[in-house]
Amino acid sequence: MIQLKNDHLIASIHPKGAELQELINPATQVNYMWSGDPAWWGKFSPVLFPIVGTLKDNTYIFNGQQYSLPRHGFARDRTFLAEQISETAALFTLQDDSETRAVYPFAFSLALHYQLDDDQLTCKYIVNNRSDNTMWFSIGAHPAFAVPLLKYRDEAKYTDHYLVFDRSNQLVRYKLKDGLISDETETVTLDHGKLRLNEELFREDALVLKGLPDSEIRIECSNHPHGLSFRWEDFPYFGIWATAGAGFVCLEPWCGIADNIHHEQQLEQKEGIQSLAPGEEWTRQWSVRCF
C-alpha cells in the first residue's frame, strides 16, 4: 500500500488495481471511503478499463474476431507498477502483456496519477496508445464512499444522507436489463437539487445517466456537517450505485457505458467508445474534497 499524506488528508492506494482504499482526515480520523467488506462488496474504488459495464454475451468483435471480457474489464484485477513521486503524489502504471492482448488486442499504457492538495484528492487517468493502429477503449471510475461515516453511525442513518447536484433538477435514468442498457427510462425528480438516499433507489441496479449537466455532486447529511464534494469533467456518462444495507454509495463518472440490448457487438460501434490514434495520449480526471 502506498500512502499519501498532508495536514488535511491521508490517502492509501493499493497497487492491485491502483485502487484507492482509504481517505482519512487525520484530525478527526474519519475515513470517507467504504470499508470493502466482502460480505457486501469487496472493492473500494476500482478502475473500469478497457470497458465500462457489461458486454452483450460478455463478447465484442474487432476485425472479425471475437473477444471476451468480464464486466468492467480487467484493469481492476491487475497489479500496477507503483511509483511514489512525493509525499503527496504517486503514479501507478499498467502496460499490456500476453494476457491482456489475448482478450484486448492493443498495446497500451494505463496510468493513474493520485495527488493530494490541501483537503482534495485528484485521480487522473492517462491512456497511451502504444500500438500501430487506432485503439478503442472505455474507462470509468467507481469510488465507494461511506454512508454513513463510521464515526457517525450511532447518530445518522443511510436515509439521513442525500446527494446534492450543482445543476440538475431531475435525472433521466436509463434502466438496465441483465446488465445491458434497455429501451426503458425513468425520470427521478430532485428536491431543489437534492436526491435523498434510500435502498429502493438501487433495487433495479445502478442509476445510469447520460449527458448529465452537472460537474459536482456533494454527499451531505442532515444530522452532522461532514461530507464530501465530488467533481469531474468531460465524462459523458455517470453511474450511481449501492448495495442495499451495505453502507456506501458509488459516484461513477464514465467515458463509456454498458452495451445496449440491441448492440451488434462491433467494438468500434459501441456507444461511448473512445478512439485514440497511434502514439497519442488521452487524459481525464476526477477529484474529491472532504469536509
pLDDT per residue over 8-38, tens digit each? 999 999 999 999 999 999 999 999 999 999 9
> Are the CB atoms for 116 and 89 separated by under 8 Å?
yes
Threshold 0.85, pTM exceeds: yes
- At the second CATH level, the architecture of 2-286 is Distorted Sandwich (2.70)
Tens of pLDDT, residues 158-189: 999 999 999 999 999 999 999 999 999 999 99
Q: How far apart are CA 50 and CA 54, in angstroms?
A: 11
The amino acid sitting at 195 is: L
Mean pLDDT of the chain: 97
For residues 62-88, average pLDDT:
98
pLDDT band, very low/low/confident/very high, at 152 (cuts 50, 70, 90): confident
Domain edges within the chain: 2-286
| Predicted confidence (pLDDT) at residue 150 exceeds the cutoff of 90 | no
pLDDT band, very low/low/confident/very high, at 151 (cuts 50, 70, 90): confident
> Are the CB atoms for 151 and 52 separated by under 8 Å?
no
